[in-house]
Amino acid sequence: MKKTILSLASALVMLFINSSAIAGEHPGNPRVQNALKTEFAEAANVNWEKIGDGELFHASFTLYGDQVSAWFDNNGSLVATGRTVDVSAMSLLAQRRFRDRYSEYAISGVVEYIKDGELSYIVTAYNQKQTIVVQLFANGSSTIIKAQK
């Protein structure tokens, strides 16, 4: 389960950073396409990517002016969602925890991430030594997903 969350979180960050990973306008699976239409009827500019062996599908789209990502399994069930947000959109607790634990880093991007009804934030930050990707949870805990020099 933790591996799946970390994989989705890593994919989420990479897709928001590198939009060239988007593969096309149709997922090639009617259940998945119908699920997107049901869950996000107002979605526009939809692009799809098949992840791995086709057990997971990623949709990138615009919804009410926000850039949003959604992941679906091959049965059309919504697995997770994410959207880019400003640092100020993070909860005060998440902002404080980041500041307390990672004060030597400047934030370059934030993604609001929801999986299994749990809200967290995926924060990309950097300093002179490295770039990190941190997942901050509502309870104040955090996990470094990736660190790169």
How confident is the prediction along the chain (149 residues), in pLDDT tens digits per residue? Answer: 444 444 555 555 444 433 334 356 778 889 999 999 999 999 999 999 998 887 899 999 999 999 999 999 999 999 999 999 999 999 999 999 999 999 999 999 999 999 999 999 999 999 999 999 999 998 889 999 999 99
Fold observed for domain 85-148: Nuclear Transport Factor 2; Chain: A, (3.10.450)
| Positive/negative CA dihedral, 6, 115, 12, 90 | negative
pLDDT score, position 11: 52
Same topology between domain 2-79 and domain 85-148? yes
Q: Could you give the CA distance from residue 124 to residue 17 in angstroms, rounded to a whole number?
A: 10
Would you list the domain boundaries of the chain?
A: 2-79, 85-148
pLDDT score, position 22: 37
pLDDT score, position 100: 95
Taking a C-beta distance cutoff of 8 angstroms, is the pair 111, 85 a contact?
Answer: yes
Taking a C-beta distance cutoff of 8 angstroms, is the pair 82, 112 a contact?
Answer: yes
Fold observed for domain 2-79: Nuclear Transport Factor 2; Chain: A, (3.10.450)
Which amino acid type is present at position 80? Answer: A
pLDDT score, position 5: 46
| Beta partners for residue 56, in sequence order | 51, 73
Q: How far is CA 129 from CA 104, 108, 110, 146, in A?
A: 10, 15, 20, 14
* Residue 146 CB-density burial (10 A; 0-12 exposed, 13-18 middle, 19+ buried): middle
- Within 10 angstroms of residue 95's Cβ, the number of other Cβ atoms is 18
Q: Which residue has the tokens 């020099």?
A: 149
pLDDT score, position 111: 96
Rounded to two decimals, what is the model's pTM? 0.75
